[in-house]
Amino acid sequence: MVNRMQFYIDGAWVDPAVKKSTAVVNPATEEAMYEVALGSKADVDKAVAAAKRAFVTFSQTSREERVALLTKVIEIYKGRLKEIGAAVSDEMGAPLPMAEKLQAGAGLGHLMTTLDVLKNYHFEEPVGTAMVLREPIGVVGMITPWNWPLNQIACKVAPALAAGCTMILKPSEFTPTSALIFAEILHEAGVPKGVFNLVNGLGPEVGAAMSEHPDIDMISFTGSTRAGIDVAKRAAPTVKRVSQELGGKSPNVILEGADLTKAVTGGVMHMFNNSGQSCNAPSRMIVPLSKMKEVAAIAKAVADKTKAGDPRGEGTTIGPVVNRGQWDKIQGLIKKGIDEGATLVAGGPGLPEGVNKGFYVRPTIFADVTPEMTIAREEIFGPVLTIIGAKDEADAVQIANDTPYGLAGYVYGPSVEDAKRVGRQIRAGNVNLQGVPNDRTAPFGGYKQSGNGREWGKYGLEDFLEVKAVAGFNAA
């Protein structure tokens, strides 16, 4: 049984300083499954003290020791993949096969990629008479979201371990179980006590205490732009490093001459994946104005085949969104789209046909959307696609960049060369051409209000390292 009423601090399961809990609700049934303990500043203080003590020795471990540790973590993680997938599915609603393969699989992927990076990374580099040393930054506070829980936990914890950092993780209160299983995996793998600590809790209490803590050297945060601003403000007085991956309103530019069936079908399916709950979802499809009707018809056919239903049910394409608050917000934005004059092509407000409970959203598509409409500007975080017409390529690029966000961009052209030309002009941290998915060895992160810092691969490791120049190291 996963221990949900204690925290993992200094290598042991311990009671919270103050007894307080919240219900974890299954979004498919709207029923509470169990309670999870909520932490306070006192719990954060205890975890930070443990991490600070452990940093003295863990920061001095060799590459070989950390390689052996990550290898063991990977071995144990593989044995618990199905259990992690089931927990993610129950708590945030992803269809079970997708939760096992993509959600739990993403965590394993980051662990394995980080291990490969660690084996070959140059922590020392001669520069003139100096030696540039890359050293662990210190104690790291990690705040992770509910939408891709293991993806976000692993792409922070793995490089922090590889760097020689110690850490405190606050996972989302909506998806605590997969994080608790992860803590059990690290414990079984022999991660030294105090190196990894987990405190469940709410953002305004545990998250705020971590952001403000003078003994935390870095905050790695993934979540909404609104919450990210609060984290940065709280972190500012202690001048700690703040690495953030925030919201998005990513453009998907389909160029004149592209294979419309392939480009539109792939774009809609990607948008609906994970019920649209991905920060890099291609939520604004920008197409040649003359092709609007044709694009809308192709998109509608995909939406009509997308089945929102029981995450454990046969044939389910997408599950519910995570909670009532998200459902209400999405419904409000769908209504706004209708009220502001966008053409509703598929879906719309309310529950899908034949569904009478659960936080299910009808797979929804709007055509004839203009760039100033609310649904073209605000992050919806649900299975809702907006299709915007562009007069020409230059207009498409202008629309794509007309957003405060800059996490991702997508381009589909008649050729890779055409897609490359437009991809270079998109102001975003990640651009995918011709439907090719992200590469875990390449950096992930955003421009503008989508954040700063980078995760994944070598770039993710470097986010947890300080740079020291030692002059005279190489003097003759």
Active-site positions read 245, 279
Q: Which amino acid is at 72?
A: K
For helices 81-92 and 63-79, give the axis angle rounded to 10 degrees.
70
Nearest-angstrom CA–CA distance, 234 and 254: 41
Distances (CA, A) of 35 to 176, 200, 210, 211: 10, 12, 23, 25
Question: Do residues 389 and 288 touch, judged by C-beta distance below 8 A?
Answer: yes
Closest CA to 319 of 269, 273, 386: 273
- Taking the C-alpha atoms of residue 273 and residue 317, their distance in angstroms, rounded to an integer, is 8
Residue of 294, 231, 222 whose CA lies nearest to 264? 294
Cβ–Cβ < 8 Å for 220, 451: no
Which residues, at least 6 apart from 408, have a Cβ–Cβ distance to it below 8 Å?
248, 250, 280, 282, 428, 429, 430, 431, 432, 446
Q: How far, in Å, CA of 389 to CA of 367, rounded?
A: 9
E strand or H helix that includes residue 42: helix 41-58
Residue 349 phi/psi, 5° resolution? -70, 165
| 39 touches 200 (CB < 8 A) | yes
Distance CA 192, CA 468 (A): 26
- DSSP string for 431-447: EEETTPPP-TTS-B--S
Paired tokens of 174? 């909506």
- Number of Cβ within a 10 Å radius of residue 425: 17
